């Protein structure tokens, strides 16, 4: 296995929730590749996606560093683990939390549970790296969901993030995202120093997600 990650965030797109989430997960699980395909699903869809695609690595979209008890509406990490999540995104541009809460979450989850912390810029990536997540994913918010890849619009933020992370830790992996739509974008992200990519609409909004995924992994 190449070890390069292609992380697909299902968000709450109409084409990637409920039954559609299960269908997309099945497509992902049936693609032959040396890359590491990961589905990041809503907490509502976690159990069903894990059940229907048991060979696919599945993360949940967010967790809260809470203990068992009176926490209505919050997402307990242990429940996610019990329901089959292998990891989580945290601090996405669409769901920001404090560094302190990320540190609390890291203290709470099992050692082999993957935490991918999202950063808007190099300085935030540096701060996140200091608390020791599994991965830091840099995503300029203004490019998320757009048609221009971060690898084209702002390659310096990728190389700068890679350098900043490596100054602090050689254990934290580096991902990038925002606007990534094809195999060229993925190949460039890896060339610029990442372990892979974080994407969403390039797959979830595609008329043919299987073809889109095959294109994305074509140069890995």
Q: Give the residue numbers annotated as catalytic, written as ranges.
A: 92, 139
**Cα–Cα distance between 16 and 80 in angstroms, integer?**
19
3-state helix, strand, coil in the chain (%, to 5): 40, 15, 45
Q: What are the tokens at 156? A: 């310096």
How far apart are alpha carbons 197 and 178 in whole angstroms?
9
8 Å CB contact between 115 and 87: yes
Residues 114 and 59: beta-carbon distance below 8 Å: yes
Residues forming beta bridges with residue 116, ordered by sequence position? 89, 135
**Whether 122 contacts 138, CB under 8 Å:** yes
Strand partners, 38: 7, 57
Tokens encoding 186: 């993925």
């Amino acid at each position: 296995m190449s070890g390069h990650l292609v992380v697909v965030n299902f968000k709450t797109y109409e084409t990637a929730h409920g039954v559609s989430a299960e269908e997309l997960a099945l497509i992902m699980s049936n693609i032959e590749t040396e890359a590491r395909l990961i589905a990041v699903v809503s907490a509502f869809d976690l159990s069903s996606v894990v059940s229907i695609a048991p060979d696919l690595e599945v993360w949940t979209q967010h967790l809260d560093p809470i203990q068992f008890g009176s926490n209505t509406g919050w997402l307990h990490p242990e429940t996610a683990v019990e329901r089959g999540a292998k990891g989580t995104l945290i601090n996405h541009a669409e769901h920001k939390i404090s560094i302190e809460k990320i540190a609390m979450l890291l203290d709470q989850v099992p050692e082999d549970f993957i935490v991918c912390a999202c950063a808007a810029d190099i300085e935030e990536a540096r701060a996140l790296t200091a608390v020791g997540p599994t991965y830091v994913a840099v995503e300029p918010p203004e490019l998320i969901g757009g048609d221009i890849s971060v690898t084209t619009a702002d390659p310096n933020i990728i190389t700068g993030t890679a350098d900043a992370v490596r100054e602090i830790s050689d254990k934290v992996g580096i991902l990038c995202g925002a606007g990534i739509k094809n195999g060229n974008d993925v190949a460039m992200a890896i060339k610029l120093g990442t372990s892979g990519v974080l994407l969403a609409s390039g797959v979830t909004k595609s008329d043919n997600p299987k073809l889109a995924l095959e294109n994305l992994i074509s140069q890995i």
